[in-house]
A = this chain, B = another copy of it.
Amino acid sequence: MDDGADLVSRLHSEEANPALLEQVVAGTEETTTGVIRLKSMATEGVLKYPIIAVNDARTKHFFDNRYGTGQSTLDGIIRATNLLIAGTTVVVAGYGWCGRGVANRARGLGANVIVTEVIPLKALEAVMDGFRVLPMQKAVQEAGLVITLTGDIHVLRQEHFKAMKDGAIIANSGHFNVEIDIPALEKLSVDKGKARPYVEVYTLGDGKKLYLIGEGRLVNLAAAEGHPASVMDMSFANQALCLEYIAQNRDNLENRVYDVPESIDETVAQLKLEAFGIEIDTLTAEQEKYLNSWEMGT
């Protein structure tokens, strides 16, 4: 089981003892980043055993990103700052699954939320979901809190810091600490200090203060406890069931990256519902037949 494909790359590297790699039957991978790296290895023909991309299970990334990141990002920010979210103008950069999660949770806590995007379709969904959509340069002028979750680099940079209001709080919940251009922020600042645990205060030349949480690292890990157990349980159930599957089906698998079998994804959803004590309907025979026969009903 790997997280980020770090173990896999190490095992496949020249420094590693080749005997180790030979003992590995198959593997699983938890993260988006890892899946991308593994697919490159498979394409280049260097991957030496089959791997299931647990990350891509719907019971993993639908829940992890929307509900897990949504809550834990704001949890980290509140722990670090004790900010009242109600009444705060919150800018959410990126309206992917994570951004949607955070935008909804911020609104649910009483914030007025502005979304920034680079993709027209996502921007349009944000508009239809009732959020304001602005270019970042305008958005930061109103922001009490700015959160980046884009997967890209330097989403907040010099021109944005200059336009921010005194007292604005900045946090990142994207995977890497590159979304906020911290060197640019340092360069603009005449002073820097610790405002609270996990919070640095930067004083700019004009006396304005900006607050950066957790050095721009994933705020739910930097200042809170990461995802709640009740989101991680679905990831780990996928891991366990995929390991069983891959062990039993090793002989029929090639050395490439596989999706989580549909039946495992469904089993995990079913098990989670049972853990909640929730029952759902099943199709009647008549309904099954209807769904398979499009002549009826027209």
Interface residues of A (CB under 8 A from B): 4, 33, 36-37, 40, 58-59, 62-63, 66-68, 70-71, 75, 78-79, 82-87, 104-105, 107-112, 116-118, 120-121, 123-125, 127-136, 138, 151-155, 165, 176, 178, 225, 227-231, 265-266, 269-270, 272-273, 276-284, 286-287, 290-291, 294, 296-298
Contacts and interface: CB of A to CB of B under 8 A. Distances in A.
A83 B228 contact: yes
Nearest to A130: B110
Given A40-B294, A116-B281, A123-B278, 11 more contacts: A67-B84, A70-B86, A105-B110, A107-B108, A112-B131, A121-B265, A123-B269, A134-B279, A138-B279, A151-B291, A153-B287
B108 A84 contact: no
| Assembly stoichiometry (copies) | 4
21 contacts: A59-B124, A63-B128, A67-B86, A68-B84, A70-B110, A71-B110, A75-B75, A82-B225, A84-B228, A87-B130, A105-B109, A107-B130, A108-B110, A110-B128, A118-B283, A127-B278, A135-B279, A135-B280, A152-B290, A153-B297, A178-B290
B128 A86 contact: yes
B230 A266 contact: no
Contacts of A130: 86-87, 107, 110-112
A133 B280 contact: yes
Nearest to A81: B228
Contact of A33 (B66, B281, B290, B298): B298
A294 B33 CA distance: 8
A39 to B, nearest CB: 10
A280 B120 contact: yes
Contact of A272 (B70, B116, B124): B124
Nearest to A275: B167
Nearest to A234: B124
Contacts of A278: 123, 127, 133-134
Given A280-B118, A284-B154, A287-B152, A84 B230 contact: yes
Contacts of A178: 290, 296-297
Contacts of A269: 120-121, 123-124
A295 to B, nearest CB: 9
A117 B228 contact: no
Contacts of A107: 108, 130
A266 B120 contact: yes
Nearest to A124: B269
Contacts of A151: 291
Contacts of A132: 112, 132
Nearest to A283: B118
Contacts of A82: 225, 228-229
A112 to B, nearest CB: 5
A67 to B, nearest CB: 4
